[in-house]
Structure 1
Protein backbone atom coordinates (compact mmCIF):
# COMPACT_ATOMS: atom_id res chain seq x y z
CA UNK A 1 0.00 0.00 0.00
CA UNK A 2 2.79 2.37 0.87
CA UNK A 3 4.44 1.56 -2.41
CA UNK A 4 1.31 2.59 -4.33
CA UNK A 5 1.04 5.79 -2.31
CA UNK A 6 4.67 6.62 -3.02
CA UNK A 7 4.14 6.08 -6.73
CA UNK A 8 1.06 8.31 -6.70
CA UNK A 9 2.93 11.07 -4.86
CA UNK A 10 5.84 10.82 -7.30
CA UNK A 11 3.49 10.99 -10.27
CA UNK A 12 1.73 14.01 -8.77
CA UNK A 13 5.03 15.82 -8.29
CA UNK A 14 6.18 15.03 -11.82
CA UNK A 15 2.88 16.11 -13.31
CA UNK A 16 2.90 19.31 -11.27
CA UNK A 17 6.41 20.21 -12.41
CA UNK A 18 5.49 19.37 -16.00
CA UNK A 19 2.31 21.46 -15.91
CA UNK A 20 3.80 24.53 -14.26
CA UNK A 21 7.29 24.11 -15.82
CA UNK A 22 8.65 26.79 -13.46
CA UNK A 23 10.16 26.39 -10.02
CA UNK A 24 10.48 29.21 -7.53
CA UNK A 25 12.79 29.32 -4.53
CA UNK A 26 11.69 31.89 -1.96
CA UNK A 27 9.05 33.14 -4.37
CA UNK A 28 5.47 32.05 -5.08
CA UNK A 29 5.45 33.61 -8.54
CA UNK A 30 8.44 32.34 -10.52
CA UNK A 31 9.01 34.03 -13.88
CA UNK A 32 11.65 31.60 -15.18
CA UNK A 33 12.14 27.84 -15.25
CA UNK A 34 14.21 28.30 -12.07
CA UNK A 35 13.61 31.58 -10.24
CA UNK A 36 15.80 32.13 -7.18
CA UNK A 37 14.77 35.07 -5.01
CA UNK A 38 17.88 35.53 -2.87
CA UNK A 39 21.61 34.94 -2.86
CA UNK A 40 23.03 32.15 -4.97
CA UNK A 41 26.17 30.25 -3.99
CA UNK A 42 27.67 27.71 -6.36
CA UNK A 43 30.24 25.63 -4.54
CA UNK A 44 31.40 23.62 -7.53
CA UNK A 45 30.84 23.90 -11.27
CA UNK A 46 31.78 21.69 -14.17
CA UNK A 47 34.46 23.15 -16.41
CA UNK A 48 33.24 23.89 -19.91
CA UNK A 49 35.60 22.61 -22.59
CA UNK A 50 33.44 23.36 -25.61
CA UNK A 51 34.61 25.90 -28.17
CA UNK A 52 31.58 28.10 -27.45
CA UNK A 53 32.80 28.60 -23.87
CA UNK A 54 36.25 29.83 -24.85
CA UNK A 55 37.07 33.41 -23.95
CA UNK A 56 33.63 34.06 -22.43
CA UNK A 57 32.30 35.58 -19.23
CA UNK A 58 29.23 35.07 -17.06
CA UNK A 59 27.51 38.39 -16.43
CA UNK A 60 24.41 39.56 -14.56
CA UNK A 61 22.34 42.60 -15.42
CA UNK A 62 20.36 44.84 -13.08
CA UNK A 63 17.27 42.64 -13.42
CA UNK A 64 19.09 39.62 -12.07
CA UNK A 65 19.32 37.81 -15.38
CA UNK A 66 22.51 35.85 -15.99
CA UNK A 67 23.97 35.19 -19.41
CA UNK A 68 27.25 34.22 -21.05
CA UNK A 69 28.90 36.78 -23.32
CA UNK A 70 32.26 36.91 -25.04
CA UNK A 71 35.06 39.06 -23.67
CA UNK A 72 35.02 41.19 -26.83
CA UNK A 73 31.32 41.96 -26.32
CA UNK A 74 32.04 43.27 -22.83
CA UNK A 75 35.11 45.32 -23.77
CA UNK A 76 33.62 46.79 -26.96
CA UNK A 77 30.06 47.34 -25.74
CA UNK A 78 30.85 50.95 -24.86
CA UNK A 79 31.86 51.77 -28.43
CA UNK A 80 34.82 53.88 -27.36
CA UNK A 81 36.81 55.79 -29.96
CA UNK A 82 40.30 54.70 -30.95
CA UNK A 83 41.63 56.78 -33.83
CA UNK A 84 45.06 57.41 -35.32
CA UNK A 85 46.36 58.77 -38.59
CA UNK A 86 49.39 60.13 -40.42
CA UNK A 87 50.06 62.75 -43.05
CA UNK A 88 52.77 63.76 -45.47
CA UNK A 89 52.58 67.31 -46.82
CA UNK A 90 54.90 68.27 -49.63
CA UNK A 91 52.57 69.85 -52.19
CA UNK A 92 49.09 70.01 -50.61
CA UNK A 93 48.38 73.53 -49.29
CA UNK A 94 47.11 73.68 -45.72
CA UNK A 95 43.73 75.25 -44.99
CA UNK A 96 43.32 78.29 -42.73
CA UNK A 97 41.31 77.71 -39.57
CA UNK A 98 38.33 80.06 -39.62
CA UNK A 99 38.48 82.80 -36.99
CA UNK A 100 42.13 82.17 -36.04
CA UNK A 101 45.23 84.06 -37.12
CA UNK A 102 48.44 82.27 -38.13
CA UNK A 103 46.89 78.82 -37.67
CA UNK A 104 46.46 76.34 -40.50
CA UNK A 105 44.70 72.97 -40.27
CA UNK A 106 47.04 69.99 -40.48
CA UNK A 107 46.23 67.64 -43.35
CA UNK A 108 46.24 63.90 -42.61
CA UNK A 109 45.98 61.68 -45.65
CA UNK A 110 45.91 58.25 -44.02
CA UNK A 111 43.93 56.69 -41.18
CA UNK A 112 45.62 53.87 -39.30
CA UNK A 113 42.83 53.09 -36.82
CA UNK A 114 39.21 54.24 -36.85
CA UNK A 115 36.83 51.43 -35.91
CA UNK A 116 33.72 53.59 -35.66
CA UNK A 117 34.45 56.14 -38.42
CA UNK A 118 34.70 59.04 -35.96
CA UNK A 119 37.37 60.87 -37.98
CA UNK A 120 36.51 62.52 -41.29
CA UNK A 121 39.56 62.29 -43.52
CA UNK A 122 38.05 64.72 -46.05
CA UNK A 123 37.98 67.68 -43.63
CA UNK A 124 40.48 66.30 -41.06
CA UNK A 125 38.05 66.63 -38.17
CA UNK A 126 37.17 64.22 -35.35
CA UNK A 127 33.60 64.23 -34.03
CA UNK A 128 32.99 62.81 -30.53
CA UNK A 129 30.35 60.07 -30.75
CA UNK A 130 29.43 60.37 -27.06
CA UNK A 131 30.18 62.25 -23.86
CA UNK A 132 33.49 61.23 -22.33
CA UNK A 133 37.14 61.91 -21.52
CA UNK A 134 39.50 61.77 -24.49
CA UNK A 135 43.29 61.60 -24.60
CA UNK A 136 44.68 63.45 -27.63
CA UNK A 137 48.17 63.63 -29.16
CA UNK A 138 49.55 65.34 -32.27
CA UNK A 139 53.03 65.58 -33.74
CA UNK A 140 54.55 67.31 -36.76
CA UNK A 141 58.08 67.00 -38.09
CA UNK A 142 59.73 69.11 -40.79
CA UNK A 143 62.92 68.39 -42.69
CA UNK A 144 63.75 72.08 -43.17
CA UNK A 145 62.96 75.14 -41.07
CA UNK A 146 62.70 78.82 -41.86
CA UNK A 147 64.79 81.12 -39.65
CA UNK A 148 63.17 83.47 -37.18
CA UNK A 149 59.65 82.17 -37.74
CA UNK A 150 57.34 80.83 -35.04
CA UNK A 151 56.37 77.24 -35.75
CA UNK A 152 54.14 75.09 -33.57
CA UNK A 153 51.30 72.60 -33.38
CA UNK A 154 48.03 72.82 -31.49
CA UNK A 155 44.92 70.89 -30.55
CA UNK A 156 41.56 72.64 -30.95
CA UNK A 157 38.03 71.91 -29.75
CA UNK A 158 35.09 73.17 -31.81
CA UNK A 159 31.61 73.26 -30.29
CA UNK A 160 28.82 73.82 -32.78
CA UNK A 161 29.38 76.92 -34.90
CA UNK A 162 31.72 78.58 -32.40
CA UNK A 163 35.30 79.49 -33.25
CA UNK A 164 37.67 76.60 -32.38
CA UNK A 165 39.32 76.88 -28.96
CA UNK A 166 43.02 76.11 -28.55
CA UNK A 167 43.45 73.65 -25.66
CA UNK A 168 47.10 72.56 -26.06
CA UNK A 169 50.12 73.71 -28.07
CA UNK A 170 53.87 73.59 -28.42
CA UNK A 171 55.60 76.44 -30.24
CA UNK A 172 59.25 77.38 -30.80
CA UNK A 173 60.87 80.25 -32.62
CA UNK A 174 63.17 78.87 -35.27
CA UNK A 175 66.69 80.18 -34.71
CA UNK A 176 69.85 79.65 -36.70
CA UNK A 177 73.43 80.41 -35.68
CA UNK A 178 76.24 81.47 -38.01
CA UNK A 179 73.52 81.78 -40.72
CA UNK A 180 73.85 78.09 -41.44
CA UNK A 181 73.19 75.89 -38.44
CA UNK A 182 69.58 75.53 -37.29
CA UNK A 183 69.31 75.00 -33.54
CA UNK A 184 65.52 74.68 -33.33
CA UNK A 185 64.09 71.16 -32.85
CA UNK A 186 62.53 69.79 -36.07
CA UNK A 187 59.59 68.20 -34.26
CA UNK A 188 56.61 69.87 -32.60
CA UNK A 189 54.32 67.78 -30.41
CA UNK A 190 51.63 68.28 -27.80
CA UNK A 191 49.04 66.22 -25.97
CA UNK A 192 46.20 66.64 -23.50
CA UNK A 193 43.08 65.12 -21.98
CA UNK A 194 39.77 66.82 -22.67
CA UNK A 195 36.12 66.31 -21.71
CA UNK A 196 33.94 66.26 -24.83
CA UNK A 197 30.21 66.14 -25.34
CA UNK A 198 28.68 64.16 -28.16
CA UNK A 199 29.02 66.20 -31.35
CA UNK A 200 32.04 68.24 -30.20
CA UNK A 201 34.86 68.28 -32.72
CA UNK A 202 38.64 68.03 -32.50
CA UNK A 203 41.03 69.40 -35.10
CA UNK A 204 44.76 69.93 -35.30
CA UNK A 205 46.61 73.03 -36.44
CA UNK A 206 50.10 74.22 -37.30
CA UNK A 207 51.12 77.74 -36.26
CA UNK A 208 53.21 79.85 -38.61
CA UNK A 209 53.54 83.49 -39.62
CA UNK A 210 54.25 82.43 -43.19
CA UNK A 211 51.57 82.84 -45.80
CA UNK A 212 52.15 79.25 -46.89
CA UNK A 213 54.06 76.26 -45.59
CA UNK A 214 55.34 75.39 -49.04
CA UNK A 215 58.76 76.53 -47.84
CA UNK A 216 58.72 73.72 -45.30
CA UNK A 217 59.53 70.68 -47.39
CA UNK A 218 59.01 67.10 -46.27
CA UNK A 219 56.48 67.82 -43.50
CA UNK A 220 55.12 64.69 -41.80
CA UNK A 221 52.55 64.45 -39.04
CA UNK A 222 50.62 61.99 -36.91
CA UNK A 223 47.84 62.04 -34.34
CA UNK A 224 46.06 59.72 -31.91
CA UNK A 225 42.72 60.03 -30.12
CA UNK A 226 41.77 57.61 -27.36
CA UNK A 227 38.55 57.73 -25.35
CA UNK A 228 39.54 56.68 -21.85
CA UNK A 229 36.17 57.13 -20.11
Structure 2
Protein backbone atom coordinates (compact mmCIF):
# COMPACT_ATOMS: atom_id res chain seq x y z
CA UNK A 1 0.00 0.00 0.00
CA UNK A 2 2.86 2.33 0.83
CA UNK A 3 4.52 1.65 -2.52
CA UNK A 4 1.28 2.49 -4.35
CA UNK A 5 1.13 5.89 -2.61
CA UNK A 6 4.71 6.68 -3.56
CA UNK A 7 4.06 5.71 -7.18
CA UNK A 8 0.90 7.83 -7.23
CA UNK A 9 2.79 10.86 -5.93
CA UNK A 10 5.54 10.41 -8.53
CA UNK A 11 3.01 10.05 -11.32
CA UNK A 12 1.21 13.19 -10.17
CA UNK A 13 4.51 15.07 -10.07
CA UNK A 14 5.59 13.92 -13.52
CA UNK A 15 2.16 14.65 -15.03
CA UNK A 16 2.24 18.07 -13.39
CA UNK A 17 5.62 18.84 -14.98
CA UNK A 18 4.34 17.71 -18.38
CA UNK A 19 1.17 19.81 -18.13
CA UNK A 20 2.97 22.86 -16.80
CA UNK A 21 6.03 23.12 -19.06
CA UNK A 22 7.31 26.26 -17.28
CA UNK A 23 8.60 25.95 -13.74
CA UNK A 24 9.12 28.99 -11.54
CA UNK A 25 11.29 29.29 -8.45
CA UNK A 26 10.36 32.24 -6.27
CA UNK A 27 7.91 33.40 -8.96
CA UNK A 28 4.28 32.49 -9.63
CA UNK A 29 4.47 33.51 -13.28
CA UNK A 30 7.42 31.76 -14.96
CA UNK A 31 8.33 33.02 -18.43
CA UNK A 32 10.78 30.26 -19.38
CA UNK A 33 11.07 26.50 -18.98
CA UNK A 34 12.92 27.23 -15.73
CA UNK A 35 12.46 30.75 -14.36
CA UNK A 36 14.54 31.53 -11.25
CA UNK A 37 13.76 34.80 -9.52
CA UNK A 38 16.84 35.06 -7.34
CA UNK A 39 20.44 33.96 -7.07
CA UNK A 40 21.66 30.81 -8.79
CA UNK A 41 24.45 28.87 -7.12
CA UNK A 42 26.14 25.81 -8.60
CA UNK A 43 28.54 24.08 -6.23
CA UNK A 44 30.24 21.82 -8.76
CA UNK A 45 30.44 21.64 -12.55
CA UNK A 46 31.70 19.00 -14.92
CA UNK A 47 35.08 19.75 -16.45
CA UNK A 48 35.19 19.74 -20.23
CA UNK A 49 38.25 17.99 -21.63
CA UNK A 50 39.43 17.06 -25.10
CA UNK A 51 37.70 17.54 -28.43
CA UNK A 52 34.23 17.40 -26.88
CA UNK A 53 34.66 20.97 -25.65
CA UNK A 54 33.42 23.82 -27.82
CA UNK A 55 34.51 27.44 -27.76
CA UNK A 56 31.35 28.82 -26.19
CA UNK A 57 30.63 30.60 -22.91
CA UNK A 58 27.37 31.44 -21.14
CA UNK A 59 26.32 35.08 -20.78
CA UNK A 60 23.30 36.83 -19.29
CA UNK A 61 21.48 39.35 -21.47
CA UNK A 62 19.56 42.41 -20.30
CA UNK A 63 16.31 40.47 -20.08
CA UNK A 64 17.86 37.96 -17.69
CA UNK A 65 18.10 35.08 -20.16
CA UNK A 66 21.23 32.95 -20.34
CA UNK A 67 22.67 32.58 -23.84
CA UNK A 68 25.76 31.10 -25.47
CA UNK A 69 28.40 33.29 -27.13
CA UNK A 70 31.17 31.91 -29.30
CA UNK A 71 34.83 32.80 -28.86
CA UNK A 72 34.75 34.50 -32.28
CA UNK A 73 31.79 36.68 -31.25
CA UNK A 74 33.45 37.63 -28.00
CA UNK A 75 36.75 38.58 -29.61
CA UNK A 76 34.97 40.55 -32.35
CA UNK A 77 32.97 42.57 -29.81
CA UNK A 78 36.17 43.49 -28.00
CA UNK A 79 38.20 44.24 -31.13
CA UNK A 80 39.58 47.78 -31.18
CA UNK A 81 40.71 49.78 -34.17
CA UNK A 82 44.44 50.31 -34.75
CA UNK A 83 45.54 51.98 -37.98
CA UNK A 84 48.83 53.37 -39.27
CA UNK A 85 49.75 54.69 -42.70
CA UNK A 86 52.46 56.55 -44.56
CA UNK A 87 52.98 58.73 -47.58
CA UNK A 88 56.30 57.36 -48.76
CA UNK A 89 56.38 59.07 -52.15
CA UNK A 90 55.42 62.50 -50.90
CA UNK A 91 52.38 64.33 -49.58
CA UNK A 92 49.67 64.66 -52.21
CA UNK A 93 46.70 66.90 -51.47
CA UNK A 94 43.13 67.27 -52.67
CA UNK A 95 40.90 70.18 -51.76
CA UNK A 96 38.49 69.93 -48.82
CA UNK A 97 35.00 71.14 -49.64
CA UNK A 98 34.04 74.22 -47.65
CA UNK A 99 37.47 74.61 -46.01
CA UNK A 100 39.78 77.37 -47.26
CA UNK A 101 43.55 76.86 -47.61
CA UNK A 102 43.34 73.21 -46.50
CA UNK A 103 43.90 70.07 -48.53
CA UNK A 104 43.29 66.45 -47.54
CA UNK A 105 46.50 64.44 -47.27
CA UNK A 106 46.46 61.33 -49.45
CA UNK A 107 48.47 58.51 -47.92
CA UNK A 108 49.59 55.77 -50.30
CA UNK A 109 50.28 52.92 -47.87
CA UNK A 110 48.54 51.32 -44.89
CA UNK A 111 51.02 49.76 -42.47
CA UNK A 112 48.46 48.47 -39.95
CA UNK A 113 44.71 48.08 -40.39
CA UNK A 114 43.48 44.65 -39.31
CA UNK A 115 39.79 45.62 -39.32
CA UNK A 116 39.98 47.60 -42.58
CA UNK A 117 38.66 50.80 -40.97
CA UNK A 118 40.72 53.18 -43.15
CA UNK A 119 39.71 53.53 -46.80
CA UNK A 120 42.89 54.12 -48.80
CA UNK A 121 40.86 55.16 -51.87
CA UNK A 122 39.49 58.31 -50.22
CA UNK A 123 41.91 58.47 -47.26
CA UNK A 124 39.12 58.51 -44.71
CA UNK A 125 38.88 56.62 -41.42
CA UNK A 126 35.40 55.53 -40.36
CA UNK A 127 34.90 54.71 -36.69
CA UNK A 128 33.62 51.11 -36.43
CA UNK A 129 32.20 51.55 -32.91
CA UNK A 130 31.52 54.24 -30.33
CA UNK A 131 34.69 54.93 -28.38
CA UNK A 132 37.66 57.13 -27.54
CA UNK A 133 40.29 57.46 -30.28
CA UNK A 134 43.85 58.81 -30.16
CA UNK A 135 44.80 60.53 -33.44
CA UNK A 136 48.26 61.58 -34.65
CA UNK A 137 49.56 62.93 -37.97
CA UNK A 138 52.75 64.54 -39.25
CA UNK A 139 54.62 65.50 -42.41
CA UNK A 140 58.23 66.47 -42.86
CA UNK A 141 59.51 68.92 -45.46
CA UNK A 142 62.45 67.45 -47.33
CA UNK A 143 63.64 70.75 -48.82
CA UNK A 144 63.11 74.47 -48.37
CA UNK A 145 59.64 75.60 -49.40
CA UNK A 146 59.01 79.18 -50.44
CA UNK A 147 55.60 79.71 -48.93
CA UNK A 148 53.94 81.70 -46.21
CA UNK A 149 52.14 79.59 -43.63
CA UNK A 150 52.30 75.79 -43.59
CA UNK A 151 50.32 73.65 -41.19
CA UNK A 152 48.79 70.27 -40.48
CA UNK A 153 45.44 69.39 -39.00
CA UNK A 154 42.97 66.68 -38.02
CA UNK A 155 39.38 66.86 -39.23
CA UNK A 156 36.35 65.02 -37.82
CA UNK A 157 33.07 64.72 -39.72
CA UNK A 158 30.06 63.64 -37.68
CA UNK A 159 26.98 62.58 -39.58
CA UNK A 160 25.88 65.17 -42.13
CA UNK A 161 27.70 68.00 -40.36
CA UNK A 162 30.52 69.93 -41.97
CA UNK A 163 34.05 68.70 -41.18
CA UNK A 164 35.46 70.19 -37.98
CA UNK A 165 39.13 70.99 -37.42
CA UNK A 166 39.86 69.41 -34.00
CA UNK A 167 43.66 69.78 -33.87
CA UNK A 168 46.18 71.96 -35.72
CA UNK A 169 49.82 73.03 -35.81
CA UNK A 170 50.92 75.81 -38.16
CA UNK A 171 54.09 77.84 -38.64
CA UNK A 172 54.99 80.69 -40.94
CA UNK A 173 58.08 79.77 -42.99
CA UNK A 174 60.90 82.11 -42.02
CA UNK A 175 64.37 82.36 -43.56
CA UNK A 176 67.40 84.19 -42.18
CA UNK A 177 70.04 85.09 -44.77
CA UNK A 178 68.44 82.59 -47.11
CA UNK A 179 68.53 79.77 -44.55
CA UNK A 180 65.12 78.39 -43.45
CA UNK A 181 64.75 78.45 -39.66
CA UNK A 182 61.17 77.20 -39.37
CA UNK A 183 60.63 73.62 -38.13
CA UNK A 184 60.85 71.06 -40.92
CA UNK A 185 58.17 68.88 -39.33
CA UNK A 186 54.52 69.75 -38.78
CA UNK A 187 52.69 67.41 -36.40
CA UNK A 188 49.60 67.37 -34.22
CA UNK A 189 47.58 64.95 -32.15
CA UNK A 190 44.39 64.78 -30.14
CA UNK A 191 41.96 62.44 -28.42
CA UNK A 192 38.32 62.48 -29.52
CA UNK A 193 35.08 60.68 -28.72
CA UNK A 194 33.61 59.20 -31.89
CA UNK A 195 30.31 57.52 -32.66
CA UNK A 196 30.07 54.59 -35.03
CA UNK A 197 30.16 56.00 -38.57
CA UNK A 198 31.98 59.25 -37.72
CA UNK A 199 34.82 60.02 -40.12
CA UNK A 200 38.38 61.26 -39.62
CA UNK A 201 40.85 62.58 -42.19
CA UNK A 202 44.03 64.60 -42.11
CA UNK A 203 44.83 67.87 -43.86
CA UNK A 204 47.72 70.17 -44.70
CA UNK A 205 47.41 73.97 -44.70
CA UNK A 206 48.99 76.34 -47.18
CA UNK A 207 48.58 80.06 -47.63
CA UNK A 208 49.31 79.57 -51.34
CA UNK A 209 46.58 78.46 -53.75
CA UNK A 210 48.66 75.60 -55.15
CA UNK A 211 48.05 72.21 -53.55
CA UNK A 212 51.21 70.75 -55.08
CA UNK A 213 53.21 72.63 -52.47
CA UNK A 214 54.01 69.56 -50.37
CA UNK A 215 54.80 67.07 -53.11
CA UNK A 216 58.37 66.65 -51.87
CA UNK A 217 57.61 65.68 -48.26
CA UNK A 218 56.97 62.47 -46.30
CA UNK A 219 53.99 61.84 -44.05
CA UNK A 220 52.53 59.40 -41.54
CA UNK A 221 49.52 58.96 -39.27
CA UNK A 222 48.28 56.66 -36.49
CA UNK A 223 44.83 55.98 -35.06
CA UNK A 224 44.46 54.09 -31.77
CA UNK A 225 41.13 53.23 -30.21
CA UNK A 226 41.84 53.44 -26.49
CA UNK A 227 38.34 52.64 -25.24
**SS of equivalent residue, structure 1 residue 123:** coil
Q: 2:186 maps to which residue?
A: 188
The range that moved more, 43-52 or 31-40, is: 43-52
Q: Is the 8 A contact 2:105 2:204 kept in 1?
A: yes
Specify the alignment match of 2:64 in structure 1. Answer: 64
Q: CA separation in 2, counterparts of 1:161 and 1:4?
A: 77
* Equivalent position of 2:204 in the other structure: 206
Counterparts of 1:22-101 in structure 2, within 5 Å, are 22-49=22-49, 56-74=56-74, 76-77=76-77, 81-90=81-90, 93-101=92-100
Question: Aligned pair in 2 of structure 1 residues 198, 13: CA closer, same or farther (>3 Å)?
Answer: closer
2: CA distance between counterparts of 1:74 and 1:157? 29
Of residues 158-167 and 94-103 in structure 1, the stretch that sits farther from structure 2 once superposed is 158-167
Q: Distance in 2 between matches of 1:52 and 1:135?
A: 43
- Asked if the contact 2:92–2:107 (Cα under 8 Å) also holds between the matched residues in 1, the reply is no
Alignment partners' CA distance in 2, 1:215 and 1:74: 44
For residue 57 of structure 1, report the CA deviation from its aligned partner.
4.0
The unaligned stretches of length 5 or more in structure 2 are none
Cα shift at 1:51: 5.5
Extract unaligned runs of 5+ from structure 1: none
Q: How does the TM-score come out when normalised to structure 1?
A: 0.74
Distance 2:190 2:86 in 1: 18
2:108 corresponds in structure 1 to 109
Assess, with a 3 A threshold, how the Cα gap between structure 1 residues 156 and 222 changes in structure 2: closer, same or farther.
same
With the length of structure 2 as denominator, give the TM-score of the two structures. 0.75
What is the CA-CA distance between 1:63 and the residue it aligns to? Answer: 1.1
